[in-house]
Structure 1
Amino acid sequence: MANNNDSETVEIPTDVPTSARVYGWMLGGKDNFEVDRQFLVNNILPGFPECVDIARQNRQFLYRAVRYLAKDAGIRQFLDMGCGLPTNNNV
């Protein structure tokens, strides 16, 4: 639960990779650390080299799906329940 006490600061761990920052980096985002990039390079890409392309294709599909739903299907409200960070060209 969020604490509204302005005097508290939240420490962001920069020595542990997070899936949100790794995924954001794969999409071209800027909010990541060396530990996130190294995790991808050392642990994911060797066994799954196409993951960056798939992540970007996934984002392109999301753009197309949301555009269709908003423009052609008449959907006017969306609830994004993702756990990622805002990144370039977010929906």
Structure 2
Amino acid sequence: GLELSQPSLVVVKPGESPSITCKVSGYSVSDSSISFATGWVRKPARKAMEWISNIWDNDASSNSVSLQVQSLQPEDTAVYYCVHYPPQ
């Protein structure tokens, strides 16, 4: 089956630009017919889940995808998840 794993906790300061990496198993991130269906969402405290992006950097050698969050601000505080969704 599919499995996506990522760090359990990343703590950053305002203005920093962290990169979150998600390790994928069960499909290849370099397979364009499948990998585009990997994306990112976030869940701020006391708010609904928010869609972030399906644009990311992939690394075929480690079969992982990464999200770079630019100039993080306090309002960006959330739990971030990589997700796999059915291709449209």
TM-score (norm: length of structure 2): 0.28
Q: Which has the larger radius of gyration?
A: 1
Q: Which has more strand, going by share of residues?
A: 2
Q: Which has more helix, going by share of residues?
A: 1
TM-score (norm: length of structure 1): 0.27
